[in-house]
Amino acid sequence: MVRKLKHHEQRLLRKVDFTTYKSDNNHRDNAVIRRYAIQKPSDYQSYNRICGSLRQLAHRIAALDPSDPFRRKHEDLLLETLFNAGIVGTGGGGRGKLSDVEHKVTVSAFARRRLGVVMTRLRMADTVQAATKFIEQGHVRVGTEVVTDPAFLVTRNMEDFVTWVDSSKIKRNIMKYRDKLDDFDLALL
């Protein structure tokens, strides 16, 4: 049996976080995992590995001669690919810079492209945790595919095709609320 804490002991404990220690050097990891509702720490580690590989590739490309057509081609290709994936804000073709890979390609940038975070940004759910629950229950589809993995990364092109499954009760309630539910839809649902 543990004794009841005194008032000053309770106040001191409010200022202490026992889950993260600065000496662990992973206090940022836990903050990102909590903010974006990453359920598997292996997802965070894989995003971190991808970021490191992309930075290493950018350093190798930057080591080439700036006037080399090979460098320009692959720099534009890398920036365009990251732009299409939604990781950086500007693409290749002279609009983006190779230094953007160093500064803007982070684990958080990858985590922002997860389906639950995109759903929250599209106002399909109030929180990332609620969106994750909807995804796991099979209420969400991207294009024609029903997605049940919250770690699904949504590109810029696929972002427009995130919607509710036709047989979802959530979709039915939204349509009923907006007075857009008709008899034909009732037969399908």
| pTM score, whole prediction | 0.77
Is the confidence at residue 176, as pLDDT, over 90? Answer: no
Cβ–Cβ < 8 Å for 142, 189: no
Kindly report which listed range (24-33, 43-52, 103-112, 170-179) carries the lowest average pLDDT score: 24-33
CA-CA-CA-CA torsion for 71, 75, 76, 78, nearest 10 degrees? 140
Distance of CA 51 to the CA centre of its chain: 14
Predicted pLDDT of residue 70: 93
Lowest mean pLDDT among 14-23, 25-34, 137-146: 14-23
pLDDT band for position 157 (cuts 50, 70, 90) = very high
Residues in the chain: 189
User: Which backbone phi and psi does 78 adopt, to 5 degrees?
Assistant: -65, -45
When pLDDT is cut at 50, 70 and 90, the band that residue 95 belongs to is low
Tell me what percent of the chain is helix, strand and coil, each rounded to the nearest 5.
55, 5, 40
Q: What angle do CA 14, 107, 109 make, to 5 degrees?
A: 105
